[in-house]
């Protein structure tokens, strides 16, 4: 047996020819922190009258392998904010620890945790921006849902570059392509969020999760959903997609071995 | 010759369990001119008596704005107060930068008290020779804190520190029950009256030697949530002093009427 680790698990030279060693970086800076390894896909969220609903599936993929199927990507903070994580799962866990220590420090105060979702979003965007400026980014795209300082529903996004934006409905990852158009059709720009009920928002998220399950190959049919309202946060972590219908799959043409 | 062996540094206990350097630092607070602070349900007021080192010099600043939601009044070594207030300004700005929120008053007070406590436990350091009254508003309403060189902080409903402050405290204690439901202007007047109590016979409150700082929650229906810290100094304090005079003359007249009837 060849005892050089770089030879292990590679095609045999005598059959496939010599492996191009330039692919094996033996010098240069560490680069493994500059790309994600285990990743979560979409997070989607909608504002409604008096709150925000947010959902994400429970999958953590290792490349295209559906590696972990019970990863909860929604994290509550205090009693009225939820962060949904897309992107690298280990970086998510790191941020989770950061938020844990902030929560503890904040609770030293006699008045408890007074940081609202807007404060939390500002903080996260600064963390992301600092890390990307060190060329050591936290490979995430997060949605922060909750309330702002005036008690209005708050929903905003922050990504690995520290870029931020907000909208009445948002999605990260593949959802930005697949879910946002659906949400825009259901809740057009002209429609004020006061006219959107909690039930409508939750139904829309479930619909989007289903479409993502149909069409995003890195998604899962088990998901978590959180509803943030004045009454607090209601999180469900092991939801299953209901009423699936794959009939449409028959009509999909134009890939694989099919001859159209 | 008598010599106290236990006051050479701030880290040694005396056999009686005292730390003399800390006690001496607290004496420095008593040398400073008096400052008074008081709270009602919506506002915090700081009132200070300024001293000038000599006739030709300016008056020492007693009240410093830290941020738009917070200010401090100082008694003791002004240069130590400057170190502390600069630190508070930095922390305050840092909170606005990273969280986008004004720092909670209790948070920043515990930060300065941590710093002050460190000075009482590390060799070669000395305690701050200054006492602060920290006034501010946050999510949980208006707050007044008393900070001492020992690192102790107390949340107060009214407080006075500095030279002859006992007279002011007596006034505050006698009138404490009136503060909570008083208006903003009444609270200022109470503060000024407490300050006036401390004056020696030949002194009086003037536009030169008095400063007032006010911060509070904005009245219902206004644009922002807080009424930003406002420092009344120099000529703009004149109306407040007039209001004080009016209430006092009003009271003596009432008093006279009582005697008459």
pLDDT digits (tens, 9 = 90+) for A224-240: 999 999 999 999 999 99
Q: How many CB pairs under 8 A join A and B?
A: 32
Asked if residue B1 has pLDDT above 50, the reply is yes
Burial, B254: exposed, middle or buried (Cβ in 10 Å; 0-12, 13-18, 19+)?
A: exposed
Of B101, B107, B225, the CB nearest to A109: B107
Minimum Cα–Cα distance from A117: chain B residue: B99
Q: Which residues of B touch A126 (CB under 8 A)?
A: 97-98
- Measured in whole angstroms, the distance separating CA B91 from the mean position of its chain's CA atoms is 20
Residue A258 pLDDT level (bands cut at 50, 70, 90) = low
Question: Please, are residues B158 and B94 in contact by the beta-carbon 8 Å criterion?
Answer: no
- What pLDDT, on a 0 to 100 scale, did the predictor assign at position A173? 95
The mean pLDDT value for A42-49 works out to 98
- What pLDDT, on a 0 to 100 scale, did the predictor assign at position A99? 98
Asked if residue B258 has pLDDT above 60, the reply is no
Asked if residue A21 has pLDDT above 70, the reply is yes
Residue A209 pLDDT level (bands cut at 50, 70, 90) = very high
Say how far apart CA B64 and CA B79 lie, in whole Å: 13
Place of tokens 């493994």: A32
Question: Please, are residues A210 and A202 in contact by the beta-carbon 8 Å criterion?
Answer: no
The whole-chain average pLDDT of chain B stands at 93
Q: Do B100 and A122 touch (CB under 8 A)?
A: yes
Q: Do A114 and B110 touch (CB under 8 A)?
A: no
pLDDT digits over B192-232, tens only? 999 999 999 999 999 999 999 999 999 988 888 899 999 99
Say how far apart CA B150 and CA B21 lie, in whole Å: 10
Considering the entire predicted model, what is its pTM?
0.87
- What pLDDT, on a 0 to 100 scale, did the predictor assign at position A34? 83
Q: Where are the domains of chain A?
A: 38-240
Asked if residue A90 has pLDDT above 80, the reply is yes
Q: Where are the domains of chain B?
A: 24-256
Mutate to test the interface with B, among A104, A115, A129, A130 (most CBs of B within 10 A): A115
Residue A114 pLDDT level (bands cut at 50, 70, 90) = confident
Q: Which residues of B touch A122 (CB under 8 A)?
A: 98-101
Question: Please, are residues B88 and B108 in contact by the beta-carbon 8 Å criterion?
Answer: yes
Half-sphere exposure (Cβ direction) of B168: Cα atoms closer than 13 Å: 29
Question: Please, are residues A196 and A189 in contact by the beta-carbon 8 Å criterion?
Answer: no
Q: Do A111 and B106 touch (CB under 8 A)?
A: yes
- Nearest alpha carbon to residue A168 among A44, A66, A36: A44
Residue B2 pLDDT level (bands cut at 50, 70, 90) = low
Separation in Å, CA of A211 to nearest CA in chain B: 36
Q: Do A111 and B225 touch (CB under 8 A)?
A: no
The secondary structure of residue B214, as a DSSP letter, is: E
Q: Which class in CATH covers the domain with range A38-240? A: alpha beta
Of B99, B140, B225, the CB nearest to A119: B99
Residue count of chain A, please give it: 260
Question: Please, are residues B135 and B37 in contact by the beta-carbon 8 Å criterion?
Answer: yes
Say how far apart CA B148 and CA B139 lie, in whole Å: 25
Q: Do B104 and A114 touch (CB under 8 A)?
A: yes
- What pLDDT, on a 0 to 100 scale, did the predictor assign at position B4? 82
Q: Do A111 and B98 touch (CB under 8 A)?
A: no
Token output for B169: 């405290």
- Catalytic positions of A, written as ranges: 33
Token output for A172: 């990260």
Residue A14 pLDDT level (bands cut at 50, 70, 90) = confident
Asked if residue A25 has pLDDT above 80, the reply is no
Asked if residue B18 has pLDDT above 80, the reply is yes
A90: which residues sit within 8 A by CB, 6+ positions away? Answer: A37, A38
Q: Do A114 and B140 touch (CB under 8 A)?
A: yes
Q: Model ipTM?
A: 0.86
Asked if residue A97 has pLDDT above 70, the reply is yes
Residue of higher predicted confidence among A236 and A18: A236
Of A108, A109, A119, the CB nearest to B100: A119
- What pLDDT, on a 0 to 100 scale, did the predictor assign at position A112? 85
In chain B, the largest separation of any two C-alpha atoms, in whole Å, equals 69
The mean pLDDT value for B69-97 works out to 97
Say how far apart CA A225 and CA A173 lie, in whole Å: 17
* CATH number, domain B24-256: 3.60.20.10
Return the SS3 of A191. Answer: coil
B67: which residues sit within 8 A by CB, 6+ positions away? Answer: B89, B92, B93, B96, B102, B103, B136, B229
- Nearest alpha carbon to residue A7 among A16, A252, A70, B202: A16
Of A111, A119, A150, the CB nearest to B101: A119
Asked if residue B260 has pLDDT above 70, the reply is no
Residue B261 pLDDT level (bands cut at 50, 70, 90) = very low
The mean pLDDT value for A33-39 works out to 90
């Amino acid at each position: 047996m060849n005892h050089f680790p770089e030879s292990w698990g590679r095609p045999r030279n005598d059959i496939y020819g010599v492996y191009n060693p330039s692919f094996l970086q033996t010098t240069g800076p560490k680069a493994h922190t500059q790309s994600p390894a285990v990743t979560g896909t979409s997070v989607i969220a909608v504002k409604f009258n008096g709150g925000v609903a947010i959902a994400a599936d429970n999958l953590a993929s290792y490349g295209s392998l559906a590696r972990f199927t019970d990863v909860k990507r929604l994290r509550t903070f205090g009693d009225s904010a939820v962060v949904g994580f897309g992107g690298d799962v280990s970086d998510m866990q790191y941020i989770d620890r950061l938020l844990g220590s902030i929560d503890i420090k904040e609770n030293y105060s006699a008045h408890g945790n007074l940081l609202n979702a807007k404060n939390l979003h500002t903080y996260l965007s600064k963390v992301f921006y600092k890390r990307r400026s060190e060329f050591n980014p936290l490979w995430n795209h997060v949605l922060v849902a909750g309330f702002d300082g005036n008690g209005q529903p708050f929903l905003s996004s922050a990504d690995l570059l520290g870029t931020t934006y907000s909208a009445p409905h948002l999605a990260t990852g593949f959802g930005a392509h697949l879910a946002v158009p659906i949400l825009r059709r259901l809740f057009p720009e002209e429609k004020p969020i006061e006219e959107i009920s909690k039930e409508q928002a939750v139904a829309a998220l479930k619909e989007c999760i289903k479409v993502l399950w149909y069409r995003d190959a890195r998604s899962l049919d088990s998901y978590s959903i959180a509803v943030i309202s004045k009454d607090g946060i209601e999180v469900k972590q092991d939801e299953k997609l209901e009423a699936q219908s794959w009939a449409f799959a028959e009509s999909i043409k134009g890939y694989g071995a099919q001859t159209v | 010759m008598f010599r106290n062996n236990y006051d050479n540094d701030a880290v040694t206990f005396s056999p009686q369990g005292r730390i003399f350097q800390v006690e001496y630092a607290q004496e420095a607070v008593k040398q400073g001119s008096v400052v008074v602070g008081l709270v009602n349900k919506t506002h915090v007021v700081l009132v200070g008596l300024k001293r000038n080192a000599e006739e030709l010099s300016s008056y020492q600043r007693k009240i410093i704005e830290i941020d738009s939601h917070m200010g401090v009044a100082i008694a003791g070594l002004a240069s130590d107060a400057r170190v502390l207030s600069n630190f508070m300004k930095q922390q305050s700005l840092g909170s606005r930068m990273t969280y986008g929120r004004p720092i909670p008053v209790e948070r920043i007070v515990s930060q300065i008290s941590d710093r002050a406590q460190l000075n009482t436990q590390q060799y070669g350091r000395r305690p701050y020779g200054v006492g602060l009254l920290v006034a501010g508003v946050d999510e949980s309403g208006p707050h007044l804190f008393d900070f001492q060189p020992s690192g102790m902080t107390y949340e107060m409903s009214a407080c006075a520190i500095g030279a002859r402050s006992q007279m002011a405290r007596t006034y505050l204690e006698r009138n404490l029950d009136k503060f909570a439901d008083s208006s903003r202007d009444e609270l200022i007047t109470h503060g000024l009256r407490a300050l006036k109590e401390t004056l020696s016979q030949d002194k009086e409150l003037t536009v030169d030697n008095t400063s007032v700082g006010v911060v509070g929650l904005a009245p219902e229906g206004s644009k922002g949530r807080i009424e930003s810290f406002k420092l009344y100094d120099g000529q703009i304090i004149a109306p407040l002093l007039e209001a004080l005079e009016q209430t006092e003359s009003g009271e003596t007249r009432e008093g006279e009427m009582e005697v008459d009837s």
